[in-house]
Amino acid sequence: MSGYLVNFIVYTAAMVGIIFLAVFVYKKFSYCSTSRSKFLNVEECISLGPRKELFVVRAGQERFLVASDVGRTSLISKLDDNSPVQKNEIVSSSSSSSVLKTNTNCSVDDLPTIVDFPRGQRATAQKKVFKNIINNI
Protein backbone atom coordinates (compact mmCIF):
# COMPACT_ATOMS: atom_id res chain seq x y z
CA MET A 1 0.00 0.00 0.00
CA SER A 2 2.77 2.45 0.89
CA GLY A 3 4.61 1.57 -2.35
CA TYR A 4 1.53 2.55 -4.33
CA LEU A 5 1.30 5.87 -2.50
CA VAL A 6 4.99 6.66 -3.09
CA ASN A 7 4.68 5.83 -6.79
CA PHE A 8 1.57 7.99 -7.07
CA ILE A 9 3.30 10.97 -5.42
CA VAL A 10 6.44 10.62 -7.56
CA TYR A 11 4.54 10.33 -10.85
CA THR A 12 2.19 13.18 -9.95
CA ALA A 13 5.11 15.44 -9.04
CA ALA A 14 6.84 14.52 -12.31
CA MET A 15 3.74 15.37 -14.35
CA VAL A 16 3.26 18.69 -12.55
CA GLY A 17 6.94 19.48 -13.17
CA ILE A 18 6.60 18.69 -16.88
CA ILE A 19 3.53 20.93 -17.11
CA PHE A 20 5.35 23.83 -15.42
CA LEU A 21 8.35 23.33 -17.70
CA ALA A 22 6.11 23.38 -20.78
CA VAL A 23 4.40 26.59 -19.62
CA PHE A 24 7.79 28.21 -18.93
CA VAL A 25 9.14 27.29 -22.37
CA TYR A 26 5.94 28.49 -24.05
CA LYS A 27 6.05 31.86 -22.30
CA LYS A 28 9.77 32.29 -22.94
CA PHE A 29 9.62 31.72 -26.68
CA SER A 30 6.12 32.83 -27.65
CA TYR A 31 6.59 36.61 -27.33
CA CYS A 32 9.07 37.11 -30.18
CA SER A 33 7.12 35.43 -32.91
CA THR A 34 6.85 36.54 -36.50
CA SER A 35 3.66 38.15 -37.72
CA ARG A 36 2.01 37.56 -41.06
CA SER A 37 0.41 40.97 -41.56
CA LYS A 38 1.28 42.97 -44.66
CA PHE A 39 0.85 46.31 -42.87
CA LEU A 40 2.20 45.56 -39.39
CA ASN A 41 5.54 43.87 -38.86
CA VAL A 42 7.65 43.30 -35.76
CA GLU A 43 11.20 43.97 -36.95
CA GLU A 44 13.06 43.39 -33.70
CA CYS A 45 12.20 41.95 -30.30
CA ILE A 46 14.43 42.10 -27.24
CA SER A 47 13.56 40.46 -23.95
CA LEU A 48 14.44 42.76 -21.05
CA GLY A 49 13.37 40.36 -18.33
CA PRO A 50 10.56 38.02 -17.46
CA ARG A 51 7.50 39.19 -19.39
CA LYS A 52 9.18 42.47 -20.39
CA GLU A 53 10.00 43.07 -24.03
CA LEU A 54 11.08 45.92 -26.26
CA PHE A 55 9.79 45.86 -29.87
CA VAL A 56 10.58 47.76 -33.04
CA VAL A 57 7.30 47.73 -34.97
CA ARG A 58 6.86 48.83 -38.58
CA ALA A 59 3.42 50.12 -39.54
CA GLY A 60 3.44 50.94 -43.24
CA GLN A 61 6.48 53.17 -43.74
CA GLU A 62 6.78 54.26 -40.09
CA ARG A 63 8.71 52.58 -37.29
CA PHE A 64 7.87 52.70 -33.58
CA LEU A 65 9.64 51.67 -30.39
CA VAL A 66 7.13 49.85 -28.17
CA ALA A 67 7.60 48.44 -24.66
CA SER A 68 5.50 45.56 -23.41
CA ASP A 69 5.04 44.59 -19.78
CA VAL A 70 2.72 42.23 -17.92
CA GLY A 71 -0.04 44.79 -17.45
CA ARG A 72 0.44 47.22 -20.31
CA THR A 73 1.96 48.03 -23.67
CA SER A 74 3.24 51.55 -24.21
CA LEU A 75 4.63 53.53 -27.11
CA ILE A 76 8.05 54.89 -26.24
CA SER A 77 8.84 56.86 -29.39
CA LYS A 78 8.50 57.06 -33.13
CA LEU A 79 11.76 56.14 -34.81
CA ASP A 80 13.16 58.37 -37.53
CA ASP A 81 14.05 57.12 -40.97
CA ASN A 82 17.70 57.89 -40.24
CA SER A 83 17.77 55.60 -37.20
CA PRO A 84 20.80 53.33 -37.13
CA VAL A 85 20.36 50.31 -39.32
CA GLN A 86 22.69 47.38 -39.52
CA LYS A 87 24.13 46.92 -43.01
CA ASN A 88 25.76 43.74 -44.20
CA GLU A 89 28.36 43.60 -46.92
CA ILE A 90 29.86 40.57 -48.56
CA VAL A 91 33.60 40.96 -48.67
CA SER A 92 35.72 38.69 -50.82
CA SER A 93 38.80 37.36 -49.17
CA SER A 94 41.94 36.17 -50.91
CA SER A 95 40.57 32.64 -50.95
CA SER A 96 37.47 31.58 -52.83
CA SER A 97 35.20 31.89 -49.78
CA SER A 98 33.24 35.03 -49.00
CA VAL A 99 33.04 36.69 -45.62
CA LEU A 100 29.96 38.52 -44.38
CA LYS A 101 31.06 41.80 -42.85
CA THR A 102 28.71 43.59 -40.50
CA ASN A 103 28.88 47.35 -40.77
CA THR A 104 27.16 49.18 -37.96
CA ASN A 105 27.33 52.93 -37.85
CA CYS A 106 25.63 53.06 -34.47
CA SER A 107 26.51 55.17 -31.51
CA VAL A 108 24.71 56.00 -28.31
CA ASP A 109 23.97 59.50 -29.61
CA ASP A 110 22.10 58.09 -32.62
CA LEU A 111 19.59 56.19 -30.49
CA PRO A 112 16.15 57.72 -29.96
CA THR A 113 15.43 59.45 -26.68
CA ILE A 114 13.55 57.31 -24.19
CA VAL A 115 11.56 58.98 -21.45
CA ASP A 116 12.54 57.91 -17.95
CA PHE A 117 9.50 56.67 -16.11
CA PRO A 118 9.33 57.34 -12.37
CA ARG A 119 10.03 54.32 -10.23
CA GLY A 120 6.95 53.03 -8.52
CA GLN A 121 6.41 52.82 -4.80
CA ARG A 122 5.75 49.11 -5.06
CA ALA A 123 9.40 48.13 -4.61
CA THR A 124 9.79 50.24 -1.47
CA ALA A 125 6.52 48.87 -0.07
CA GLN A 126 7.75 45.32 -0.64
CA LYS A 127 11.03 46.10 1.12
CA LYS A 128 9.12 47.46 4.13
CA VAL A 129 6.99 44.31 4.29
CA PHE A 130 10.07 42.09 4.14
CA LYS A 131 11.82 44.15 6.83
CA ASN A 132 8.77 43.83 9.09
CA ILE A 133 8.65 40.07 8.55
CA ILE A 134 12.35 39.68 9.29
CA ASN A 135 12.14 41.88 12.40
CA ASN A 136 9.18 39.89 13.73
CA ILE A 137 10.96 36.54 13.36
Residues 102-113 have pLDDT tens digits of: 444 555 455 555
pTM higher than 0.85, yes or no? Answer: no
The answer to whether position 127 is within a domain reads no
Please say if the pLDDT value at position 18 is more than 90.
Answer: yes
Within a domain: 80:
no
Whether residue 9 lies inside any domain: the answer is yes
The answer to whether residue 6 sits within a structural domain is yes
Domains held by the chain: number: 1
Report the pLDDT value the prediction gives residue 83, as an integer from 0 to 100: 56
Range of the domain at 7: 1-30
Domain membership flag for residue 3 = yes
CA-based end-to-end distance of the chain:
40
Residue 90 falls inside a structural domain: no
69, 52 contact by CB (below 8 A): yes
Q: CA 80, CA 131: separation in Å to the nearest integer? A: 47
Does residue 11 lie in a domain region?
A: yes
In a domain, 13, yes or no: yes
Q: Say how many C-beta atoms besides its own lie within 10 A of residue 51's C-beta.
A: 13
- Give the residue, 121 or 46, on which the prediction is more confident: 46
The predicted-structure confidence for 31-71, as pLDDT tens digits, reads as follows: 555 546 778 888 888 888 888 889 888 888 889 998 888 88
